[in-house]
Structure 1
């Protein structure tokens, strides 16, 4: 099952300044900065500039063309022409899903187009309201200024901000000090901003994997279930998913949020091991190990809208 919060899946029918400075490293004006324990000796600031373009382009085998997406269908709903993507599956009922690409309908192979259109009309108020909410959220995310990847930048981590510190050294390495909430990135001279962003993302993904595994084991024990495997995802709109093979995936970007919100998603996906749906019994199961799930679900939606643009 996919976790979209309350808006993602309906019951079955019938996450002013220029983008970056030329110099990403701290540049003291009159004195050397204080030396932190374990940090390399300070050296004169080095400008991190974009890598020079290659002089020649290596020849690579041509990649296979991407799979074609199902064509969108159109349906007149009231005064609106509603577009949706139809997918056929072995499921027993018609399901609806809203994401940044619009409405996606999954229906059994035996169900006719007329039945699908009628099901959409039955759910039209829910569908139109959720599409409107999704458009507003997307617009709000795009309006937020991106992070400036300079020394002292503030990055969202576990519900708060941590400070990015940039240092020059002989090799790339990362160090996090929880006492000062500083993430120190030691970069070789000439490192690019792209490399810095990839290094920060890799560190956050590593932290996410370790933390999520701990929380999964904790809540699985409370619920009395066992999952087959766990992996990180980078989905654009899904915070988590659970398959019938008991495989759980959690979006690494949850590491930006506070622990209670992470625990809600963990409890949500583990509950699908017992109830592969979003029925009343499913939410009762979630409530057994996470009673405040409704508050967490709403807060997760709000916090996701407040995130700055990091790696987009």
Structure 2
């Protein structure tokens, strides 16, 4: 168990690759890339690729040693990405699937309604009911159409939901803001521009309400402190004394939410 060099290029080469093995018998390859930087860095991308960034002055051996030293961390990151990918592959936007809304699980029901030209989504006691021209689609096309219809419905639901929260919290915190945009952001839950415009991720509608409140309060606090200084966190804590707990819970949802939705 250790490192095997895949290739050792010439002295002036900027890249070298290797393979590291893990305690469970699995292995993964990695690339060492030299550039005009001052420090070493180890990175695992969202696709599960492993990179070592190395200053030109250091030998490739230093990069290999960095990977070996951090083998447990690399394994944990790669394994987390693999599990998330499997969950995403196992999930399908089909009848009976379980989807989130305000932190609760809803069953997805798909009903044929030939009279409708497009899919309509309703939140009912049964769950999320998607009705529309089912027979007009092939099986693989139907799933994609259902997914897009539900995501569009989520986004519309999120707008009214988050606009209402922003209005309530801004009045309570005595701050103002500009426009609100609901976005399909890959990694961020929200942001606040220098002009006071607020951006929110539509996926907040999937989460428990207290987590959406945390994101709204966080972004409104930037109207008083455009940074993450101690003064900023004092503002957040004044409004939400348990904000640390909410922040940890928000991170717990990230894997499922960003992979599935």
TM-score (norm 2): 0.67
Instruction: Measure the CA separation in 1 of the matches of 2:152 and 2:94.
Output: 18
Q: How many residues align?
A: 201
* Number of the residue aligned with 1:186: 132
Instruction: Measure the CA separation in 2 of the matches of 1:305 and 1:154.
Output: 16
Instruction: Measure the CA separation in 2 of the matches of 1:239 and 1:82.
Output: 26
Give the helix-richer structure, 1 or 2: 2
Instruction: Measure the CA separation in 1 of the matches of 2:181 and 2:74.
Output: 29
* Number of the residue aligned with 1:299: 249
Alignment of 1:103-252 (within 5 A): 137-144=80-87, 145-169=89-113, 170-171=115-116, 172-191=118-137, 192-193=141-142, 194-252=144-202
What's the C-alpha RMSD, in Å, of the aligned pairs? 3.2
2:201 aligned with 1:257: no
The 4+ residue runs of structure 1 with deviation greater than 6 A are: 128-134
Instruction: Measure the CA separation in 2 of the matches of 1:182 and 1:303.
Output: 20
Whether the 8 Å contact between 1:209 and 1:232 is mirrored in structure 2 is yes
- For the residue of structure 1 that corresponds to 2:223, the secondary structure is coil
Structure 2 residues without counterparts, runs of 5 or longer: 1-32, 50-54, 56-69
Whether the 8 Å contact between 2:169 and 2:217 is mirrored in structure 1 is yes
1:188-235 residue CA offsets vs partner (Å, 9 max, x unmatched)? 521332222111110111111110111111111111011101101212
Instruction: Measure the CA separation in 1 of the matches of 2:211 and 2:188.
Output: 14
Structure 1 residues without counterparts, runs of 5 or longer: 1-70, 85-97, 103-112, 114-127
1:42-66 residue CA offsets vs partner (Å, 9 max, x unmatched)? xxxxxxxxxxxxxxxxxxxxxxxxx
